[in-house]
Amino acid sequence: MSQSQVTRSPKREFISRTYNLMLRSYLAVSFHDAQCGFKTITAQAAHVLLPQVKDDEWFFDTELLVRAQQVGMTMFELPVRWVEDAGSTVDIPDTIKKDLEGMHRVREGMEARAVEELRVDLDSPAV
């Protein structure tokens, strides 16, 4: 978000912007950033979404956000102040490979029927 204050290397900036562009174009997401920031979730939303999230690594938060958007949940984005950890040991090539696999898997599962099965009324007593 333009109001965010993000400090990171040019390499990480390029990777982040490319990743978010891919999410917007390949998965049609409307949120700004899937990785830089913090996520909070209500217990009701967690009850609905977490069983649908298959990834248990770096793509987890992206998949959670994509699934929330798919079912029409309201999402709020707030600007953050974030500084890259220069000592980060993220294996970038491996993470990119797994993110691309995750994007492909999520897109393959986006058929209208699958999305309709996920739709729920969060105000219903069953949730």
Is 33 one of the catalytic residues? no
Can you spell out the DSSP letters for 6-69? EE--HHHHHHHHHHHHHHHHHS---SS-SSSS-----HHHHHHHGGG----STTHHHHHHHHHH
What is the token pair recorded at 91? 């294996």
CA distance 20 to 16: 6
Q: State the chain's maximal CA–CA distance in angstroms.
A: 48
What is the token pair recorded at 15? 């990777």
Q: Pick the catalytic residue: 61, 85, 99, 123?
A: 61
Give the residue numbers annotated as catalytic, written as ranges: 61
